[in-house]
Amino acid sequence: MENIDYHFIAIGGIGQSALANILLKEGKKVSGSDISKSKYIDKLEALGAKIYIGHREENIQGSPVVVVSSAIKEDNPELKKAKELGLKVIHRSDLLKIISDNYPCFIGFCGTHGKTTTSGMCAYLLSKSGKKPCYAIGGIIPELNTNGECEDKNTKYFVAELDESDGTVVKYSPKITLINNLEADHLDFYKNGLADILKTFKEFILKLDNSSKIIINTDNDGNCELIKQNDQYNGFVSYAINDENAVYKAKNIAYNGLGSSFEVFRDNKLLGKIELSIPGEHNIYNALGVCASLIEAGLDFNDFAKYFTTFSGMGRRFQKSAEFNNIKIIDDYAHHPSEIMATLKAAKSYKEGRIVAIFQPHRYSRFLGFYNEFKQALKSADITFILDVYAASEKPIEGKTPKDFANEQTQAGLKCEYISGTIKEAAEKIYDKLEQNDLVLTFGAGDITKMGGELNGLYLHKK
191 and 299 inside one domain: yes
Same domain, 209 and 262: yes
The reply to whether 1 falls in a domain is no
Query: Which of 231-245, 267-281, 337-351, 449-463 bottoms out in mean pLDDT, i.e. has the lowest?
Result: 337-351
Residue 96 lies in a domain: no
Residue 313 has pLDDT above 50, yes or no: yes
Give CA–CA dist 460/463, Å, rounded. Answer: 5
Residues 298, 158 within the same domain: yes
Buried b (16+ CB within 10 A) or exposed e, 36-73: eeeebbebbeeeebbbbeebeeebbeebbbbbbbeebe
123 & 266 share domain: yes
Distance (Å, whole) CA 41 – CA 268 = 48
Domain boundary at 310, 328, 348, which?
310
Residue 305 shares a structural domain with residue 357: no
Same domain, 275 and 158: yes
**Is residue 374 assigned to a domain?**
yes
Same domain for 260 and 188: yes
> In what helix (H) or strand (E) does residue 369 lie, and over which residues does it extend?
helix 364-369
Residue 38 banded pLDDT, cuts 50, 70, 90 = confident
Q: Which of 248, 281, 310 is the last residue of a domain?
A: 310
Strand, coil or helix: what is 343?
helix
Statement: residue 187 has pLDDT above 80? no
Long-range contacts of 263-271 (CB under 8 A, 24+ apart): 264/288, 264/291, 264/301, 264/305, 266/292, 266/295, 271/295, 271/301, 271/305
Burial of 193 from C-beta contacts in 10 A (0-12 / 13-18 / 19+): middle
CB 361 within 8 A of CB 402: yes
**Per the domain annotation, does 430 fall within a domain?**
yes
User: Among 63, 91, 119, which residue terminates a domain?
Assistant: 91
Q: What is the mean pLDDT of the chain?
A: 94
Structural domains of the chain, count: 3
Question: Is 109 found in the same domain as 68?
Answer: no
CATH number, residue 12: 3.40.50.720
- Shared domain check, 139 and 281: yes
Within a domain: 438: yes
126: CATH: 3.40.1190.10
Q: Is residue 198 included in any domain, yes or no? A: yes
Please indicate, yes or no, whether residues 332 and 424 belong to a single structural domain of this protein: yes
What is the band of 257 on the pLDDT scale with cuts at 50, 70, 90? confident
State the CB neighbour count (10 A cutoff) for residue 321.
20
- Note whether 397 and 291 are same-domain residues: no
Rounded to two decimals, the pTM is: 0.85
Rounded Cα distance between 305 and 282, Å, is 18
Integer-rounded Cα Rg, in Å, for the chain is: 22
The whole-angstrom separation of Cα 68 and Cα 172 is 18
186 with 300, same domain? Answer: yes
Contact 215, 177 (CB under 8 A): yes
Smallest CA-to-CA distance from 127 within 143, 103, 105 is with: 143
Domain residues for 170? 101-310
The tally of CA atoms less than 13 A away on the side-chain side of residue 340 is: 28
Percent of the chain with pLDDT over 90: 81
Within a domain: 29? yes
8, 80, 88, 94, 259 from 77: Cα distances, Å = 13, 5, 15, 21, 49
CA-to-CA distance for 251 and 269, rounded, in angstroms?
Answer: 11
pLDDT tens for residues 317-362?
888 899 999 999 999 989 999 999 989 988 887 666 799 999 999 9
Q: What is the pLDDT of residue 161?
A: 94
The long-range contacts involving 396-400, CB below 8 angstroms and separated by at least 24 positions, are 396/364, 397/364, 397/365, 397/368, 399/364, 399/368, 399/371, 400/367, 400/368, 400/371
pLDDT tens string 422-435: 999 999 999 999 99
- Residue 1 pLDDT exceeds 50: no
DSSP state of 130: T
Residue 199 lies in a domain: yes
